[in-house]
Amino acid sequence: MAQISNANLITILDRMGRWGGEAGGIPLASAVATGGVYAATSPNAGIAVADTDVLAALQTLVGGFTDVHQQEDFIPPVVALNDGQPALGSLGYNFWAALRQALDIHGLRYNSLATGDLSGLDAMLRVLNATTPTVRAHGLFNQYFGNLSPGNVFVPTPFTLATLAVTGATSATFTHVAALDLTLYGRGKIAVLNTKTEGLTSTVLTMTCTKSGVATSVVFTVNVTTNNYLTAGDDATLTFSDCTALVSISGGFTGDTFSLVILPDRAISAA
């Protein structure tokens, strides 16, 4: 008997986060990968819309487990949904409560004896993320379904650490905005977001960034002039929490502006 797969766990976490965002009308990122344009969609607010988008798919997933222990853990939310007991104007409310409890029960089954950690889902994620952030929950999951440790949660939208206003080929004004709050989220991948780009040349930025608590030099080569384009640094690990200084800039175009951001692990708008 086995713990559910990482892929199934991610799907459950992301669909729960998507439901929360859509129910509250919160814009969801539709693209957050480097080498592309960051985009966000604004879903129609309302529980009914959120239910329509994710409930049936989640019911099919958790109701389709063939491992007997997985069935034992996840049948209760399926039963709750099938019973159709209305609450807060939505048939899905009881399902979400039962599914969140099922995740904790499943986490306890596979991690409590081994680790002594009785926090259920949080313990399961802590084990999976012990070496590298393998499976983390979207910030909206934690907002609506909660109680996960910061290291098991990633930022819901690009988090701005600092901004740059280019004043010449080799000069720019650096403004620190804020370090990532590690009491809310785990460290993440750092990138440059083009906020206004008019130049025609490649711009190379060398920045001092905080990697696992240590000041580290990171180089970003921005070749695309499209607004909202995301460029990864030469270190793409999920280990960064701040950007504290501009070391150098070359190929700058006066008037261009950039933000240094921590990226979400993945988009959930289509989960």
Please check whether residue 62 lies inside any domain of the structure: yes
Cβ–Cβ contacts within 10 Å for residue 70, how many? 21
Q: How many CB atoms lie within 10 A of CB 257?
A: 17
Are 129 and 206 members of one domain? no
pLDDT at 92: 60
Quick check: is 136 in a domain?
A: yes
> Considering the domain boundaries, does residue 244 fall inside one?
yes
Q: Are residues 145 and 189 in the same domain?
A: no
Mark which of 126, 154, 182 sits at the end of a domain. Answer: 154
Burial category of 129 from C-beta neighbours within 10 Å (exposed 0-12, middle 13-18, buried 19 and up): middle
d(CA 257, CA 122): 39
Q: Are 123 and 210 contained in the same domain?
A: no
Residue 150, classed as helix, strand or coil, is helix
Question: Is 98 found in the same domain as 213?
Answer: no
Residues 129 and 39 in one domain: yes
pLDDT at 51 over 90: no
Residue 270 covered by a domain: no
Q: pLDDT value at position 86?
A: 45
DSSP annotation of 43: P
Strand runs labelled E in the chain: 28-31, 36-37, 39-41, 137-138, 153-154, 159-168, 171-176, 189-196, 203-211, 214-222, 229-232, 240-250, 257-263
**Residue 128 and residue 31 in one domain:** yes
Local confidence band at 113 (pLDDT 50, 70, 90 cut-offs) = low
Are 62 and 146 found together in one domain?
yes
268 located within any domain: no
Query: Which helix (H) or strand (E) covers residue 128, if one does?
Result: helix 121-128
In the structure, what pLDDT confidence band is assigned to residue 89 with cuts at 50, 70 and 90?
very low
pLDDT for 198 beyond 90: no
Q: Which of 98, 121, 154 is the last residue of a domain?
A: 154
The range of the structural domain enclosing residue 219 comes to 159-263
Residue 90 predicted with pLDDT over 60: no
> Do 13 and 146 belong together in one domain?
yes
- Co-location of 98 and 57 in the same domain: yes
pLDDT value at position 238? 96
User: Any idea which residue has 């933000």 for tokens?
Assistant: 259
Q: What is the distance between the alpha carbons of residues 101 and 141, in angstroms, rounded to a whole number? A: 14
- The 10s digit of each residue's pLDDT in 167-184 is 999 999 999 999 999 999
Task: Give the lowest-confidence range in 19-28, 105-114, 205-214.
Answer: 105-114
pLDDT, residue 134, reads 94
- Mean pLDDT for the chain? 90
Q: Which of 41-50, 154-163, 256-265 has the lowest mean pLDDT?
A: 41-50
Domain finish residue from 154, 171, 196: 154
Answer whether residue 99 is part of any domain: yes
Residues 45 and 97 in one domain: yes
- Residue 121's contacts (CB-CB under 8 Å, 6 or more residues apart) are 100, 103, 104, 106, 107, 148
The neighbouring-strand residues paired with 168 are: 171
Assess whether 256 and 182 both reside in one domain.
yes
Does pLDDT of 114 surpass 80? no
Q: Is 269 among the domain residues?
A: no
DSSP assignment letter at 130: S
In a domain, 103, yes or no: yes
Confidence at 41, pLDDT banded by 50, 70, 90:
confident
* Residue 191: closest CA among 177, 205, 171: 205
Query: Looking at residue 56, what is its pLDDT?
Result: 86
Say if residue 100 is in the same domain as residue 193.
no
Specify whether the CB–CB gap between 94 and 87 falls below 8 A.
Answer: yes
Residue 109 contacts residue 73 (beta carbons within 8 Å): yes
Residue 127 has pLDDT above 60, yes or no: yes
Total number of domains constituting the chain: 2
